[in-house]
């Protein structure tokens, strides 16, 4: 009604629509909606036929691996991830941690040669403080570590509660994830 208020009876409605471009916009909108309906029909037809919607950028990882890892393959990967008890940074600094435990920390973080060379406890403390990334809480469950918690230490040197990390890794065998190798929850480095 608002468009037609400005039309003089002598001009006619068709002349008014053609001169203002309303007819052209209407035709283009109808054409665009028809094309979207055709595309939606094709996607739905593929989904109903069981072919899926095809590859999209989020599925690139799935194409690389090609299949899901089995639970036993993930268990093999987990056996390779080192385990240690949590020791606070303060206990390491003050020397309230045993030499064997500090050497284990160095070995778990890929510094076996340093652990073998260190003879003095002070040297061990300095080396552990260099290589260990101290986190006050588990990045998976967000709970603070307490003395004696069992942790898994990834190759990228991130620490997590053993049970939290194991649950995380086993999700890579479920259908809720693309077919990829397990990764660190913090930095997404491959855990192999």
- Tens digit of pLDDT for each residue in 40-88? 777 777 667 665 555 544 444 433 456 677 888 888 888 889 998 888 8
Q: Distance between CA atoms of 161 and 184, rounded to whole angstroms?
A: 13
Q: Distance between CA atoms of 168 and 148, rounded to whole angstroms?
A: 21
Q: Between 162-170 and 71-79, two packed helices, what is the crossing angle to 10 degrees?
A: 140
Residue 42 confidence (pLDDT): 74
In this predicted structure, the answer to whether residue 120 has a pLDDT above a threshold of 60 is: yes
- Tens digit of pLDDT for each residue in 145-176? 988 889 998 888 888 999 999 998 888 887 77
The pTM score is 0.59
Report the DSSP beta bridge partners of residue 159: 153
**Edge to edge, what strands does the sheet with 159-161 contain?**
83-85, 150-153, 159-161
- b/e code 132-151 from CB counts within 10 Å (16+ = b): beebeebbeeeeebeeebeb
């Amino acid at each position: 009604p608002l468009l037609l208020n400005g039309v003089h009876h002598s001009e006619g409605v068709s002349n008014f629509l053609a001169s203002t471009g309303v007819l052209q916009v209407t035709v283009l909108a109808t054409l665009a909606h028809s094309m979207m309906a055709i595309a939606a029909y094709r996607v739905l037809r593929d989904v109903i036929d069981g072919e899926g919607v095809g590859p999209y950028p989020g599925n690139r990882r799935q194409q690389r691996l090609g299949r899901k890892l089995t639970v036993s393959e993930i268990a093999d990967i987990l056996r390779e991830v080192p385990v240690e008890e949590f020791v606070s940074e303060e206990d390491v600094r003050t020397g309230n941690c045993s030499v064997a435990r500090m050497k284990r920390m160095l070995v778990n973080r890929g510094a076996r040669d340093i652990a073998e060379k260190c003879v003095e406890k002070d040297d061990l403390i300095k080396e552990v403080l260099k290589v260990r990334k101290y986190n006050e809480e588990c990045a998976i469950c967000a709970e603070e570590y307490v003395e004696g918690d069992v942790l898994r230490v990834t190759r990228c040197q991130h620490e997590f509660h053993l049970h939290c990390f194991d649950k995380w890794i086993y999700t890579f065998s479920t259908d809720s994830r693309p077919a990829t190798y397990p990764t660190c929850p913090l930095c997404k480095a491959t855990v192999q």
